[in-house]
Amino acid sequence: MTKHIFVTGGVVSNLGKGLTTAAIGMILEARGYRVSIQKLDPYINVDPGTMSPFQHGEVYVTDDGAETDLDLGHYERFTHAKLTKNSNYTTGKIYSSVIQKERRGDYLGRTVQVIPHITDAIKEAIYNGVPGPDEKGRHVDVALTEIGGTVGDIESHPFLEAIRQFCLERPAEDTLIVHITLLPYVACSGEMKTKPSQHSVAKLREIGLIPNILVCRTEQPMSEDMAQKLSMFCNVRRNNVIEERDVAFSIYEVPLDLCKAGLDRIVLNHFGMPSEEPTDLGFWSNMVDRIRAIGERGDEVEVAVVGKYIKLHDAYKSIYESLTHAGIANGVKIKLRKLAAEDVLDEGVGLLEGVHAVLVPGGFGERGIEGKIEAIRWARERGIPFLGICLGMQCAVIESARNLAGLEGAHTTEHSAETPHPVIHYMSDQSDETEKGGTMRLGAYDCILEEGSLAFELYGKERISERHRHRWEFNNEYREVLAKVGLKQTGFHPGRNLVEIVEIEDHPFFVGVQFHPEFKCRPLEPHPLFAGFINAAANLAIGKNARMDGEALTPSTSSIDKDGVMA
């Protein structure tokens, strides 16, 4: 029977629940167990797809087209869990399903209430988040569910009540609650305080949930006296009070720190699983050592990220992580120069001077478009490695149309309906869409690569699958004229013949992709496009071929196979 771990958070938001949840999943995979991971979000939006990145950070997309919370990116980067639409539920999604049932008459005239109908729907969602047997016939051993928000928020109360019921309905040894809290450091007194954590756990206990493990986020070391105090006042065994101090240089230290604190044995002992042998995280430790060595060696590549939502780091979270992964593979440290596209237009391309590569990410809306186009022109003319993603690829097409093909006024119909040269246009099968949520081209689609292209060389195969999130496409009427001036189209979606990849051949690295490669990048498995991009930048930065030896870091060199299962 599948065991369940529920991860809650208290005191403040942004404590790193997603990272901790992902780290626990990775540790369990290293023990040979199959895991699933799920996020329950209390906000009323059906999904984050229509939310501003400034409000919510990036929207992470799964293979089956779900627009989800960015924490799912952490889950996939740390584990091999197969995430789907059932891996992220919101209050809006739960209530929508209940209201639809009521409209159909499924409740047979009963009064529909939060308890039991909403809580039953939440419990059903938890079960739905556990996938069936994999291709090897293996069932999920441990299912992790993170609850968004902070204990005490009115929005999260139905979720916590549903978890209380869920735990009551299952054997005690089949469920475990991890509560993540904060030990704030008060500078004027020079000490950390436990009172906020005590109140947070008290609030959780009011609902009927008693945490089995208390993970304490802290900037300073937690003393033994403090741990004893938390154990006493929070009713958590002393050994189960875990310090999670801010990491020194990389988030990828978190699983190692949790293992050192004994979290793996605590979880396994609670579930009655074998815990005698230590968890083998050698492959992960080697990667962290490599990150540390790269920082000490000092080889550095500076990448300009020219975007619309640049003021919020989480808006491009997966892109920044993908650049880091590519840096690990190439043996270089990534230095980010975050530039607002509007500033590039207003203050000039001089803001780009000195960078070794330019990346233009995806986005929506007209603001910043011209600044992105100017940045792309600068990279093209200077021979600076360039990678354009989604809207970044479309801006590269517009730039080439205007400045290489001489198509004055070339633009996208997203922002210029009357453009004389609509090189980017609306997909014909979406022209009648009126709702914004969930109506884009979403999820994984196949792409056929042209043999002899840079993309083919980087991927090493003809057919690939990548995740999409967009409405507008390359206009096929302009394929020939743009190819003649050097903008080659080298990747196509079979069947619909949609352009997925564009390249300029006579350039160190100039690639634009309609899809989002950052959603398939892992620290031990850097994405080919990002790895090649940073390799080209490293050649420019340090005047030699970077070390593309990330393969030596993959789990296959340890006792874990590609599915995260003990070999």
Mind telling me the catalytic residues?
390, 516, 518
Distance CA 250, CA 291 (A): 8
CA-based end-to-end distance of the chain: 22
- Which residues, 6+ apart, have CB-to-CB distance to 295 below 8 Å? 249, 333
Kind and range of the H or E element at 277? none
How far lies 195's CA from each of 172, 226, 231, 551, in Å?
28, 11, 12, 47
> What's the burial of 242, exposed, middle or buried (CB within 10 Å: 0-12/13-18/19+)?
buried
Contact 447, 491 (CB under 8 A): yes
| Residues whose CB is less than 8 angstroms from the CB of residue 171 and which lie 6 or more positions away in sequence, other chains included | none
What is the number of alpha carbons within 13 Å of residue 115 lying toward its C-beta? Answer: 10
- Which DSSP category does 221 fall into? P
d(CA 475, CA 423): 5
Phi, psi of 364 (to 5 degrees): -135, 155
CA distances from 461 to 173, 448, 454, 465 (A): 47, 9, 11, 11
Quick check: bond before 526 cis, omega within 30? no
Classify residue 1 as exposed, middle or buried by CB count within 10 Å of its CB (0-12, 13-18, 19+).
exposed
Q: What is the DSSP string of 100-115?
A: HHHHHTTTTTPPP-II
Q: Residues in the chain, how many?
A: 567
C-alpha distances (whole Å) from 562 to each of 448, 555, 567 are 24, 7, 9
Q: Which residues contact 404 (CB under 8 A, 6 or more apart)?
A: 482, 485, 486, 487
Q: Are 180 and 9 in contact (CB under 8 A)?
A: yes
Letter string b/e over residues 494-505, b meaning 16 or more CB atoms within 10 A of that residue's CB: eeeebbbbbbbe
